[in-house]
Amino acid sequence: MSKTAPHTTGSAGPRANAHTLDVVHVNGDAYEVDVRGHHLRVDQPTDAGGTDTAPTPVELFAASLATCVAFYVGRYLTRHSLHRTGLRVRAEFAMAEDRPARVASVRLGITPPPGLSGQSHAALLAVASHCIVHNTLHQPPDIDIELVP
């Protein structure tokens, strides 16, 4: 189970093998994420009080899973000298209707490149189910939220 109890004091110093990203407020409900010098923005739809200038954090969560699956499938195709042209992953997610607020389900549909054999289809599904994000969702990490100076 994840630890999510916030702390009022603590030190969020660097840990061995830790990866870091920074999130800063832009305006309203918009935030900018800096990941290794790459910048992306998150916002909320107008009906939720945002300005709809970017995807929501939850949409990026689903996108993270879908792109991880696409990456793993794409690497499989390359290892087997198969083309990635036409590869597509579609994510659909539904929010829980009860509390706490969360994603209740995610459905991924993989459209493989045309002309792959049935044996390759089965292998693609096996590879897709072992991407890092998928594995993380099945074995969630410990999460520690704390205030830092």
pLDDT tens column, 104-116: 999 999 999 998 8
- 102 and 42, same structural domain? no
* pTM of the predicted model as reported, rounded to 2 decimal places: 0.87
Q: How many structural domains is the chain composed of? A: 2
Q: Which residue has the higher pLDDT, 8 or 149?
A: 149
Q: Which of 29, 54, 79 is the last residue of a domain?
A: 54
Query: For residue 62, is it within any domain?
Result: yes
Query: For residue 79, is it within any domain?
Result: yes
Reply yes or no on whether the pLDDT at 5 is more than 70.
Answer: no
Alpha-carbon gap, residue 79 to 74, rounded angstroms: 9
Q: Evaluate whether 77 touches 70 at the Cβ level (below 8 Å).
A: no
Query: For residue 126, is it within any domain?
Result: yes
How far lies 125's CA from each of 2, 86, 119, in Å?
28, 16, 10
Structural domain containing residue 35: 18-54
First to last CA, the chain: 28
Structure tokens at 3: 């630890």
- 35 and 91, same structural domain? no
Query: For residue 146, is it within any domain?
Result: no
- 80 and 48, same structural domain? no
Spell out where the chain has E strands. Answer: 22-27, 30-35, 38-42, 88-95, 103-111
